[in-house]
Amino acid sequence: MDIVLFTDFGSSDIYLGQVKSVLHRLAPRAAVIDLANDLPPLNARASAHLLDALKNGFPEGSVFLCVVDPGVGTDRDTVVLDADSRCYVGPDNGLLSVVAARATAVKLSSIAWRPAGLSDSFHGRDLFAPVVARIAAGTLPPDQLRPLSALARSFGADDLEEIIYVDHYGNACTGIRSEHAGADRLLMAKGHRVAGARVFGEVPQGTPLWYANSHGLVEIAVNRGSAAQAFGLRVGDPVNWVD
């Protein structure tokens, strides 16, 4: 089974390598794919919507290690979510809740196991990584999980009319699924009205557009420019359709 990393550990920082060493030791045959390691550090809600959109690019059976966890070391619970043939492991702070709310077949567990040397501040390495590795390797003893009836925190199944991710090109992705977006509608963001287009090259250089991005969300861009810079867009900013 592949292991997919979806974290705020920082792709250029010292935490990922420690996590990968654990994964390699306990699941040496699993491929480990870095999907996202620079998620906005304190925003479980935005990343919960992004996770639901991106999961489909990965094969059934994939195990996602999901960490955006400002509450590490407090009494927030930890979760294993089996949802529509993929598995997600992370804190019970809403990060897995949009996937759970939209899935057809859902099974929830909390992690009963605690490792001997559990640190107070790095459950990604000490708790989540061993569980993810053992699930991927098929070696997790069943008594390390405990049935859970519901998530402690859920953001629900609805679209999120906010910016949820800004990429390095300056494109600003919203939590609105593009299947819910009529091509002729105008999107309002930071006081700007933005028209839709199929692709950047269809509008003149420097012109803003919204379009259905490659993972099925409505995204705001500027052809050969940065929408984030032009409009001052940041994760959490509200957007809405102009009727």
Instruction: Choose between 41 and 192: whose C-beta lies nearer to a second copy.
Output: 41
- Paired tokens of 125: 């390495």
On whether the CB atoms of residues 232 and 192 are closer than 8 A, the answer is: no
Q: Determine the angle formed by the axes of helices 129-137 and 16-26, rounding to 10 degrees.
A: 30
Q: Tell the smallest beta-carbon distance from residue 221 to a second copy (Å).
A: 9
Q: Tell the smallest beta-carbon distance from residue 1 to a second copy (Å).
A: 12
From candidates 45, 49, 86, 125, binder to a second copy by CB under 8 A: 125
On whether the CB atoms of residues 50 and 88 are closer than 8 A, the answer is: no
Site for a second copy in 220-239 (CB under 8 A): 224
Stretch that binds a second copy, among 56-64, 100-108, 145-153, 179-187 (CB under 8 A): 56-64
On whether the CB atoms of residues 81 and 88 are closer than 8 A, the answer is: yes
Told to check if 42 binds a second copy by CB under 8 A, we report yes
* Helix intervals (H) in 124-196: 129-137
Stretch that binds a second copy, among 105-113, 136-144, 178-186, 194-202 (CB under 8 A): 194-202
Site for a second copy in 64-93 (CB under 8 A): 70-74
Say how far residue 174 (Cα) sits from the centre of its chain. 13
